[in-house]
């Protein structure tokens, strides 16, 4: 696969992860508003944080290495 294809796939994955992260954010807000079980909310927050880590990892592959 070419670098352009790899970059395009990484960008698509990044967009998908960001959308999923936003979905978790909305779900967590709704759970808090409905006074759901705090443990369930905490689990959702952990999943959201894991997604954020995955987003950072994909973003780091898209940023070219800069030699100082």
pLDDT digit string, tens, across residues 27-48? 999 999 999 999 999 999 999 9
pLDDT on residue 32: 96
pLDDT on residue 18: 97
Sign of the torsion angle spanned by Cα atoms 60, 62, 65, 68: negative
What residues contact 10, with CB distance under 8 A and at least 6 apart? 58, 61, 62
For 9-37, give one letter per residue: b (16+ CB within 10 A) or e. Answer: eeeebbeebeeebeebeeebeebeeeeee
SS3 state at 36: coil
pLDDT digit string, tens, across residues 10-27? 999 999 999 999 999 999
């Amino acid at each position: 696969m070419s670098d352009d294809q790899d970059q395009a796939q990484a960008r698509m994955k990044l967009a998908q992860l960001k959308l999923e992260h936003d979905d978790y954010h909305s779900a967590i807000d709704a759970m808090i508003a409905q006074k759901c079980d705090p443990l369930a909310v905490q689990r959702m927050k952990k999943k959201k944080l894991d997604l954020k880590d995955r987003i950072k990892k994909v973003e780091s592959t898209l940023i070219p290495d800069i030699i100082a």
